[in-house]
Amino acid sequence: MLFNSVTFVIFYVVVFALYWLLRARTPQNVLLLVASWIFYGAWSWKFLLLLLASSALDYVCGLLIESAASQRRKRLLLIVSVGGNLLFLATFKYLGFFVTEFGALLEQLGFSASRPVLEIVLPVGISFYTFQTIGYIVDVYRGKVPAARNFIDYALYVAFFPQLVAGPIERAAHLIPQFQKPRVWSTSAFESGLQLAFWGLFKKVVIADNLAPYVDVVYADPAQFSGVVLCTATVFFAFQIYCDFSGYTDTARGVARMLGFDLMRNFHFPYIAKTPVEFWQRWHISLSKWFQDYLYFPLAIRYMRQGGWASKYKAHIIAMALIGIWHGANWTFLAFGLYWGIVIAAYLAIQERLSDAQPGGVVNRFTVSTSRVADFLAVAAMFVIVCVGWVCFRADSLSDAWYVLTHAFSGSGAANVIRPEIVDAATLWLLIASLCAAEWLYRHSDGIRQRLEGRQVPAIAGRYALLAAIIVSSGASQFNGARPFIYFQF
């Protein structure tokens, strides 16, 4: 059930109406839980069983950890819970890849290997809800949150349908208390949620889905195109994945807000970042913070104790490599993660050297020049660095990624343009320019933003009607076969 489908619109209208008619917290939570299970089971009831198993495992382990008398028993229960969730994730997401790659390795070494074909369907959103449940159990173990006593509250934390399949990856301390308190109708929350949901669908249906055909054609066979087309497709993909993923997040946050819940912001204008560190503070924020709190900090403390120049940066490279692998079982994702780990480590190392060269050895490594020209150049350079990473992310294989990177500025290739009947590149550039202008206005013009958020009913109705008309007209064909969100595959 996709946000950009008529089926979801009908589903949500029914749930929304019943939810606010019930008013009391407990029946509202029961309704949301059942609706969430229906939403997820619409893909496959087998996936729903896996979701229920994960919920039950962590609910029981959380209670047992909180009541355990010894640290040893708590640690054992933590291992059982985290190990069980990672086993689910590894089996469904990585087993087929490793069996295939191991068989290929044996054949290269001269052994006769019969490679089994494992048709394992990846459960939608398994990476997101698995990390959410692991975060919960680790926080209970660390004493940061109490174990959930009410199974309905906890199961809803795992399965809450707006953010179930593509995040944001919520923390128990933020989301569970919202299920435990009464919700009161708020017209302002409804209006802002509706606006956020419309904007998210606009980014997905109007921008991302129109950029996708151009990107798909080029990356299906990069050798057929010249460097200009390869560069264009890469820039288009940068905006496609941003509008696709942030569009999902905005829609999820808007849908949740209309029900009285606040989901964390997952994107904060990432393409205006001036440094690699800042980019990951703005892009997929919930995943970055998850790895920071549960993996990077423990690794950093361990490696810093070892001493030595290189030890400082091991944690960055390992954490980013695992972020890459989190996206899927493919060498391109590992290359994507390693690339970012090396980029961040190199950036921090350079900043440290510059700090040592300064009088007194003090410099803020995240300080950037106040010069507008310097800021523009930093943002432009950072965007190029980001696009290099997106090549690894989008390419079907490492060889395709290498071809794009090594031929991006060459004139070779059979085609210099994509046929106009497939897609009009000029229109796509106009869409990107419109997106950039809209986000610039939102960031810099408080007066315009306040006027847009005014409560005059005719203005609100007109704005939503216009957005709806653009979304429907742009994605009319997609409503019969809506294009899935990119991050559903993760």
Residue of 316, 327, 407, 444 marked active site: 327
Residue 296 near residue 337 (C-beta atoms within 8 A) = no
Positive or negative, the Cα torsion across 276, 281, 283, 286?
positive
Name the DSSP letter for residue 415.
B
Q: What number of CA atoms fall less than 13 Å from residue 93's CA on the CB side? A: 22
Query: What is the rounded (10 degree) CA torsion for 477, 481, 486, 490?
Result: 170
Name the DSSP letter for residue 180.
S
Residue 424 near residue 358 (C-beta atoms within 8 A) = no
18 burial type by CB count under 10 A (0-12 exposed, 13-18 middle, 19+ buried): middle
CB contact set of 43 (below 8 Å; sequence gap of 6+): 1, 123, 124
Residue 58 near residue 133 (C-beta atoms within 8 A) = yes
3-state SS, 6-34, equals: HHHHHHHHHHHHHHHHHCCHHHHHHHHHH
The Cα–Cα gap between 234 and 387 comes to: 7
SS3 category, 422: coil
174 is catalytic: no
Residue 145 near residue 139 (C-beta atoms within 8 A) = yes
Measured CA distances, 222 to 217, 227, 388 (Å): 8, 9, 15
Residue 428 near residue 211 (C-beta atoms within 8 A) = yes
Bridge partner residues of 225 (DSSP): 415
| Per-residue b or e along 94-103, where b marks 16 or more CB atoms closer than 10 Å to that residue's CB | eebeeeeeee
Residue among 166, 184, 190 at smallest CA distance from 256 = 190
Q: Write the single-letter amino acid at 326.
A: W
Active site residues: 327
